[in-house]
Amino acid sequence: MARRYDSRTTIFSPEGRLYQVEYAMEAISHAGTVLGVLTQEGIVLAAEKKVTGKLLDLSGASTGGYGGSGEKIFLVNTNVIVGVAGLTADASSMVNLMRLTAQRHLSVYDEDMPVEQLCKRLCDVKQGYTQYGGLRPFGVSILYAGWDPHYQFQLYHSDPSGNYSGWKATCIGSNSGTAQNMLKQHYKDDITLEAAIKLVLETMGKTMDSTTLGSDKLEFATITLDKNTKIPFAKIYRPAEVDALLKKHGLAKSEDEEMRS
């Protein structure tokens, strides 16, 4: 039945559905898990890396790359980091557009672009790709973690249709339903940043396809506010820092598991 209406993004089915958008959603549901938790002290992002292997060159991620040298978490501006789930090529295009948009706003107004305004601008582009012939929706969902002086820390989620919403804690990608249920049970409005880090790591450990957590399969980032300068600081953890964090919370690989891997 769908094949009669899914040849173009602009054709509605009799039920009022756009199948190309639903296909994009399906692509995202098979991507690596990305999880975000909002606190009054900052925001925690974690993501499951799907592209792993002993022959993969990770020197950029381990020695530098403050802007993010991985495949899932990227620095957009000093006040915004994002986690992506879906087609990596589409995600790279979206991240480049976000960075350009944020820098244009900074150049014109001499201030960082508000998080929701950046999210809305990108969603306008996403919606356009569901409306015109010859285009296809971007096969990527994005978690926006950021800070602005008016609304403080904010966490947003956008999907290929161009819809976006604000969250206290949310998950996208594979096993997102299980992760959402865990977050509902354990999230509290007064949660501290340290407790949020532990919650995120424990949730990722129980929802990822892998049986063990390690820097080879996990990306991690936080955005906090400097107490003295009141300037937001985004930190994308390097592999050694991720392993140290897992060890601190008792979730690191055992010596036997490291030898087998």
Give the per-residue pLDDT at 8: 74
Q: 63 in a domain, yes or no?
A: yes
| Cβ count within 10 A of residue 31 | 24
Angstrom distances, CA of residue 179 to CA of 43, 119, 162, 170: 17, 23, 23, 8
**pTM listed for this prediction:** 0.89
Angstrom distances, CA of residue 115 to CA of 1, 58, 79, 143, 166: 40, 30, 8, 11, 11
Q: 9 in a domain, yes or no?
A: no
Using 50, 70 and 90 to split pLDDT, how confident is the model at 203?
Answer: very high
**Average pLDDT, rounded, for the chain:** 87
Is the CB of residue 80 less than 8 Å from the CB of residue 95?
no
Q: 86 in a domain, yes or no?
A: yes
pLDDT digits (tens, 9 = 90+) for 55-97: 767 666 555 444 445 689 999 999 999 999 999 899 999 999 9
Give the per-residue pLDDT at 68: 47
Number of domains in the chain: 1
Q: 200 in a domain, yes or no?
A: yes
Assigned token pair, 104: 């244009």
Q: Which domain holds residue 19?
A: 15-250
Give the per-residue pLDDT at 9: 73
Q: 49 in a domain, yes or no?
A: yes
Q: 260 in a domain, yes or no?
A: no
Residue 144 has pLDDT above 80, yes or no: yes
Domain CATH code at residue 151: 3.60.20.10
b/e per residue 82-101 (b: at least 16 CB within 10 A) = bbbbbbbebbeebbeebbeb
Q: 257 in a domain, yes or no?
A: no
Using 50, 70 and 90 to split pLDDT, how confident is the model at 135?
Answer: confident
Q: What span, in angstroms and rounded, lies between the C-alpha atoms of 185 and 231?
A: 32
Q: 8 in a domain, yes or no?
A: no
Query: What is the mean predicted confidence (pLDDT) over 220-229?
Result: 92
Query: What is the mean predicted confidence (pLDDT) over 102-112?
Result: 96
Query: What is the mean predicted confidence (pLDDT) over 18-29?
Result: 90
Greater confidence, 119 or 49? 119
Strand order in the sheet with 80-86: 73-77, 80-86, 140-148, 152-158, 164-166
Is the CB of residue 31 less than 8 Å from the CB of residue 186?
no
Q: Reduced to 3 states, what is the DSSP secondary structure of residue 55?
A: coil
